[in-house]
Amino acid sequence: MTLLVVATGNPGKLREMQAYLADSGWELTLKPPELDVEETGETFAANACLKASQVAIATGNWAIADDSGLEVDALNGAPGVYSARYGSSDADRIARLLRELGNNNHRGAQFVCAAAIARPDGTIALQANGVCRGEILNAPRGNGGFGYDPVFYVPEQNFTFAEMTPEVKRSVSHRGKAFANLLQQLPHIEM
């Protein structure tokens, strides 16, 4: 098995990526805790590539990274790449989002995920994207998930991300779609 360093310190994200890449032949591990990569890109793809590349170079191993966030139509795509920094906690971020949307009836939104795999020399070997369209509810619903999941409603499923089982969320989410695209490309990667 080839070692693939996940450019995160979050064990939850590691488990999630392990679930997506379970049958890929890669052995996933967390990046060293002292290795921190600042997300300075202006797009999700730029941040994913930056993190994968820098972690690959620093560790001398293959590396994978993703970056994702929420884009709200009525807010001109905000919070976008600043989704995680839109407040100091999930509750703060949701409150700010609902406050800024106010009574606006145009509540279309999408979660976007970009994923990248870098070779040990830092060159990007693969990139993939995934998008899940939905709408922002007026109030949170559900106890699962994290971040904006309680207010992100997917009409085709009739649930928010926070109400979905992990299996359903994996199959319809932006991250699930990005990793499905990545998995299709993996057999063709140039080692």
Task: Supply the residues annotated as catalytic.
Answer: 67
Residue type, 79: P
Bridge partners for 133 per DSSP:
110
HEC secondary structure over 2-33: EEEEECCCCHHHHHHHHHHCCCCCEEEEECCC
First vs last Cα of the chain: how many Å apart?
Answer: 13
Which backbone phi and psi does 33 adopt, to 5 degrees?
Answer: -60, -30
CB atoms within 10 A of CB 166: 12
Q: Which alpha helices (H) appear in the chain, and where do they start and end?
A: 11-20, 44-59, 90-101, 166-172, 174-185
Going by C-beta distance under 8 Å and a sequence separation of 6 or more, which residues neighbour residue 131?
A: 110, 111, 112, 113, 174, 177
- For residue 131, what is the enclosing H or E element? strand 124-136
